[in-house]
């Protein structure tokens, strides 16, 4: 019965409003999603400063429209308690939605996502020294801690480009009968290079705004926990998975027996009879 009638996040906000709305100190916003197969994504909005889940929803995709709908509801409830900064994996829809609803606030691009993406493009045991060398530079990104560190890290990139840069423009001619006439020989190397060198300012926002973390690990931990919980309840269809996760998020708001009684009373009176 509970999985057929979960509490809506707006109901939870009414019953147990998050502490974020009464905070006097600045806070940082983070968001991420847990995909439920190919059916959709359970999306979480979080105050990463206090580690409080403030909104959640089940979306069919991480589109701007879906995230915009969440943030429109969230900002209406937050009122003047908007975040001073944000951290995310830098998907275009998220970046656009954050700017649209929170204004031009400092927005950190998650360094852990950058490192993982670079390593997927740069195999550890690649036969090319250039690939192995760029992978090593990518792994140093997480060690950036001081304001002078980006300059040192970029010096490594400049040294790599001087030694191996020609490989970025190397082309392979297509055999006869192929519609394309050529392609870049080291496509993944080019992609990794662009990932590390293009639009760098969002990588180092955390050095200027120390309240903003350099990774989205606070959300990654939540997602990992959700995955583990779903793994313990295999066999549920997507609708029930989303309902289960919604209940799990709801109970993250419960701090006392009194909170639990409020939830139970509201659910029994307004939800279970529908």
CA-to-CA distance for 98 and 93, rounded, in angstroms? 9
> pLDDT for 202-234, tens place per residue?
999 999 999 999 999 887 777 677 777 776 667
pLDDT of residue 23: 86
Give the DSSP letter of residue 148: T
CA-to-CA distance for 151 and 258, rounded, in angstroms? 53
For residues 261 and 16, is the Cβ–Cβ distance under 8 A?
no
pTM of the entire predicted model: 0.91
CA-to-CA separations, 246 to 2, 42, 253, 273, in angstroms, rounded? 11, 9, 12, 19
pLDDT of residue 217: 86
Per-domain boundaries in the chain: 9-110+215-271, 123-200
pLDDT of residue 190: 98
Alpha helices in the chain (DSSP H): 9-15, 64-78, 92-102, 111-121, 129-139, 149-164, 187-197, 205-208, 217-231, 238-251, 257-266
Residue linked to tokens 């209406």:
76
> pLDDT for 148-187, tens place per residue?
999 999 999 999 999 999 999 999 998 877 778 898 999 9
pLDDT of residue 272: 64
Mean pLDDT by 10 residues, the chain (274 residues): 82 94 92 90 95 94 96 95 96 96 96 96 97 98 96 98 97 83 94 97 96 89 72 77 91 94 89 64
Q: Hey, what CATH topology would domain 9-110+215-271 get?
A: Nucleotidyltransferase; domain 5 (3.30.420)
pLDDT of residue 194: 98
pLDDT of residue 236: 83
For residues 71 and 97, is the Cβ–Cβ distance under 8 A?
yes
| 111 three-state secondary structure | helix
Bridge partners (DSSP) of residue 31 are 45
pLDDT of residue 4: 77
pLDDT of residue 260: 94
């Amino acid at each position: 019965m509970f999985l057929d009638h979960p509490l809506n996040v707006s109901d939870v906000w009414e019953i147990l409003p998050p502490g974020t709305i009464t905070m006097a100190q600045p806070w940082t916003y983070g968001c991420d999603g847990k995909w439920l197969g190919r059916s959709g994504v359970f999306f979480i909005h979080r105050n990463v400063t206090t580690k409080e889940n403030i909104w959640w929803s089940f979306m069919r995709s991480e589109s701007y429209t879906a995230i915009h709908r969440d943030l429109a509801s969230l900002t209406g409830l937050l009122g003047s308690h908007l975040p001073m900064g944000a951290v995310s994996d830098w998907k275009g829809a998220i970046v656009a939605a954050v700017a649209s609803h929170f204004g031009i606030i400092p927005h950190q691009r998650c360094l852990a996502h950058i490192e993982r993406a670079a390593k997927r493009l740069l195999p550890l045991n690649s036969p090319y020294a250039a690939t192995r060398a760029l992978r090593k530079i990518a792994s140093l990104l997480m060690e950036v801690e001081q304001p002078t560190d980006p300059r040192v890290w970029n010096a490594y990139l400049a040294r790599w480009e001087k030694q191996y840069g020609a490989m970025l423009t190397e082309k392979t001619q297509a055999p006869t009968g192929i519609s394309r006439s050529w392609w870049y020989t080291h496509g993944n190397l080019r992609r990794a290079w662009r990932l590390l060198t293009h639009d760098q300012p969002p990588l180092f926002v955390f050095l200027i705004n120390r309240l903003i973390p350099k990774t989205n690990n606070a959300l990654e931990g939540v997602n990992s926990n959700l995955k583990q919980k779903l793994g313990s309840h295999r066999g549920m269809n997507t609708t029930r998975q989303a309902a289960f996760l919604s209940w799990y998020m709801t109970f993250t708001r419960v701090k006392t027996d009194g909170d639990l009684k409020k939830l139970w009373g509201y659910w029994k009176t307004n939800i279970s009879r529908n």
